[in-house]
Amino acid sequence: QVQLVQSGAEVMKPGASVKVSCKASGYTFTDYFIHWVRQAPGQGLEWMGWINPKSGVTNYAQKFQGRVTMTSDTPISTVNMELSRLQSDDTAVYYCAREYGGNSFIWFDPWGQGSLVTVSS
């Protein structure tokens, strides 16, 4: 079945960088974009950006430009999201999700299980 499996929880110091990975299985990895969405504790969903795993082209939300880097490792069907200059308000669960759709409509399905990133001194 189509599945996205993410890396484990991380505890980071302020100012550091974190890399979260998302390994895809059950479909042709290069056929679908991967998006990243985060959710701070008790808060809503915040879209961060997407990557085309085939070309490596990315599109980031303005809020994260200059601080986020999404990369694709095609041989191992894995997408990585690195966020730099971490602050306490970056504490959140980070999700990857596959873009799916047809006839110009797009939605996210499935999602990874989420990776908790805690930023604390």
- Return d(Cα 14, Cα 18) in angstroms, integer: 11
Considering the complex, state which of residue 11 and residue 61 has its C-beta at the smaller distance from other proteins: 61
25 contacts other proteins (rule: CB under 8 A): no
Instruction: Give the count of beta carbons closer than 10 Å to the beta carbon of residue 82.
Output: 14
Q: Pick from 17, 66, 107, 120: which binds other proteins (CB under 8 A)?
A: 107
Considering the complex, state which of residue 46 and residue 82 has its C-beta at the smaller distance from other proteins: 46
Mention every residue, 6+ apart, whose C-beta is less than 8 A from residue 78.
21, 22, 23, 24, 72
The torsion region of residue 74 among left (phi > 0), alpha (psi -120 to 50) and beta comes to: alpha
**Could you tell me which stretch among 17-25, 64-72, 77-85, 93-101 binds other proteins (CB under 8 A)?**
93-101
Query: Apex CA 48: angle with CA 47 and CA 54, to 5°?
Result: 110
Considering the complex, state which of residue 17 and residue 25 has its C-beta at the smaller distance from other proteins: 25
89 contacts other proteins (rule: CB under 8 A): no
In the chain the first and final C-alpha atoms are separated, in Å, by 40
57 contacts other proteins (rule: CB under 8 A): no
Considering the complex, state which of residue 62 and residue 121 has its C-beta at the smaller distance from other proteins: 62
> Where along the sequence are the contacts to other proteins (CB under 8 A)?
35, 37, 44-47, 50, 59, 61-62, 95, 97, 101, 103, 105-114
